Amino acid sequence: MTLRPEYSLGHSAYNDFLFGSLGQDAAGTEVTMLSALSRLGIDPWQEAARLAALPRDAAAEALAATILRLPDRTGRDAEVPKIAARLVALLPEGAVVDIPQTKEARVASLEAAVRSERVGQNTKKDATGTTMHAAVRKPKARLTTWLIWGALAMAFYFLIVQLTPTRNLESERYETPRGS
């Protein structure tokens, strides 16, 4: 099955590093650098780019410190520098150009950025020079919609109350004459 454009990874010079194995976690699941960095809340591609820009020794030390932060890792601490050095060797040297994306992926990325308010009101131009606008529903529109539906519900409730023959929900009590 083909991934949707916003989830397609494209080809990255960091793929060998990101899909390099760290071993297994406590549950027996294979852990890659991509999954390990994601578990720590670190953007894998930004971290790969940062490490690639560092000298190899500094990158290996930084990566070893990151690996040691993994909560459910197995293995000895003495093996971590060897694993880090092996993975750093998979990184390209120096800066790498951005990952190529399809137009749909760029639009989806822009929409996600606008939704999370990282971009704001700005628009971006793609490689062909076409301006892309992200259509995002604003929170005020949602609030207004809920207020309108709430007002309609209240009006409907009061209409029903006014149209009922008695204004209480109890059954009427009929008094019978005494002493007949």
CA–CA distance, 92 with 14 (Å, rounded to integer): 7
Is the pLDDT at 86 greater than 70, yes or no? yes
Copy the structure tokens of residue 152. 């309609």
CA–CA distance, 124 with 39 (Å, rounded to integer): 31
pLDDT above 90 as % of the chain: 13
Residue 120's pLDDT is 43
Is the pLDDT at 85 greater than 70, yes or no? yes
Q: Which residue has the higher pLDDT, 61 or 120?
A: 61
Q: Which run of H or of E encompasses 22? A: strand 21-24
Residue 129's pLDDT is 52
Single pTM value for the model: 0.49
Q: Which residue has the higher pLDDT, 37 or 78?
A: 37
pLDDT, mean of residues 152-172:
79
pLDDT, mean of residues 176-180:
60
Q: What is the pLDDT of residues 22-31, one digit of tens each?
A: 888 888 888 8
Q: What is the pLDDT of residues 92-139, one digit of tens each?
A: 877 665 555 566 766 766 676 666 544 444 444 445 555 544 444 455
Tokens 């009061």 correspond to 158
Any idea which of 27-36, 51-60, 167-176 has the lowest mean pLDDT? 167-176
Q: From the CB of residue 37, how many other CB atoms can be counted at a distance below 10 Å?
A: 21
Q: Which residue has the higher pLDDT, 79 or 4?
A: 79
